[in-house]
Amino acid sequence: MKTIKGPAIFLAQFLGDTLPFDNLAHLAGWAKGLGYEGIQVPCDPRLIDLEQAAKSDAYCNDLRRVVDDAGVCITELSTHLQGQLVAVHPAYDTLFDGFAAAHVRGDPKARTAWAIEQVGFAAVASKRLGLRAHVTFSGALAWPYLYPWPQRPQGLVEAAFDELARRWRPLLDAFDQAGVDVCYELHPGEDLHDGVTFDRFLAAVDNHPRANILFDPSHFMLQQLDYLQFIDIYHERIKAFHVKDAEFRPNGRQGAYGGYSGWVDRAGRFRSLGDGQIDFGAIFSKMAQYDFPGWAVLEWECALKHPEDGAREGAAYIREHIIRVADRAFDDFAGSSANGEEIRELLGIDR
């Protein structure tokens, strides 16, 4: 059995313009000071030049030196924003343009091509950095048609997933060549947001071995999906793990959809670790049971708590939940051995 690695922290929610959040070296040192052993690095130009990382071993060696000097390591690179732009429904063109490089904004075809190129760079960069997994979003073409009113035209969902697979298949092949798993965060707003949609996509890419999952139970809590059974079903495809808490407290006025309310006022909202309802004891037990090979990575999001408090508390919370797996069975002390003849005798087979 494997012991989960960690604690680690996703840097996206902390990146900013002031110390110690302004560059990779400062963020790595800050994370180490809080007790983290790893950092999940968003592919933001303030932290990493993806094209350079894809083309230069020297550049990647410099990146590794920065994090090594801080006493942490890179767990995965993240292209959540670039992955989102691989597939964008026209309804979201204006809102998502801000995720793209300035020179492709206002041009959906150029933006898609840029996003695909960036994710491709991430495959090679991950290989150069010695990483085994990469985290991202799938993007979405069918999301505006989630609720079937008015009735969806026959074939709409199938066409959306066929197109999503067409765009992602070459990228999955590129990651395969790099020896890196693509871990999609199953997330509302993405066409891959639960087990059914992941299965649709997996079928469309012929069960590609690099199409895998970033497990984040907070999104399943808000969908009222059984996140523990999800691990039982999909553990072979779970190759990355966001440790993020949430709560769901419906009432007589609102439920899962939240009535367009802001995060503070929603029935379902994200919380700092330990402040929500997710059973992380059971989750970490299942991860140990199924030999999860990766890192426990805090993704901090909370409607109430200050982010620095959430980050500080999160390191200790994850460390306390990581199960150091046993190297032998607990009842070995009472073990006995028997040869084949003795076993037959014990069972009374020859009587």
Q: For 6-17, what is each residue's pLDDT tens digit?
A: 999 999 999 999
- Tens digits of per-residue pLDDT, 119-176? 999 999 999 999 999 999 999 999 999 999 999 999 999 999 999 999 999 999 999 9
Greater pLDDT, 333 or 59: 59
DSSP string computed for 52-103? HHHH-HHHHHHHHHHHHHHT-EEEEEEEHHHHHTTSB-GGGHHHHHTTS-GG
Give the integer Cα–Cα distance in Å for 178 and 166: 20
Give me the pLDDT at residue 333, please: 63
Give me the pLDDT at residue 329, please: 73
Give me the pLDDT at residue 292, please: 97
Give me the pLDDT at residue 275, please: 98
User: Sign of dihedral through CA atoms 300, 305, 306, 309?
Assistant: negative
Give me the pLDDT at residue 337, please: 79
Give the integer Cα–Cα distance in Å for 20 and 29: 8
| pTM metric for this prediction | 0.95
Across all residues in the chain, what is the average pLDDT?
Answer: 96
- Tens digits of per-residue pLDDT, 212-253? 999 999 999 999 999 999 999 999 999 999 999 999 999 999
287-295 average pLDDT score: 96
Whether 69 and 127 have beta carbons less than 8 Å apart is answered as no
Give me the pLDDT at residue 95, please: 96
- Tens digits of per-residue pLDDT, 25-68? 999 999 999 999 999 999 999 999 999 999 999 999 999 999 99
Domains of the chain: 5-347 (3.20.20.150)
Residue 190 has pLDDT above 70, yes or no: yes
Residue 178: pLDDT band by 50, 70, 90 thresholds?
very high
Residue 273 has pLDDT above 80, yes or no: yes
Share of the chain above pLDDT 90, in %: 92
Strand blocks (E) in 257-322: 268-271, 295-298
Give the integer Cα–Cα distance in Å for 23 and 36: 17
Whether 33 and 64 have beta carbons less than 8 Å apart is answered as no
Residues 6+ apart with CB under 8 A from 148: none
- Could you tell me which of 211, 158, 146 has the C-alpha nearest to residue 185? 211
Structure tokens at 2: 């494997």
Give the integer Cα–Cα distance in Å for 288 and 2: 7
Whether 28 and 22 have beta carbons less than 8 Å apart is answered as no
Give the integer Cα–Cα distance in Å for 224 and 161: 24
| 67 alpha carbon, distance to own chain's centre | 21
Whether 138 and 166 have beta carbons less than 8 Å apart is answered as no
Whether 43 and 77 have beta carbons less than 8 Å apart is answered as yes
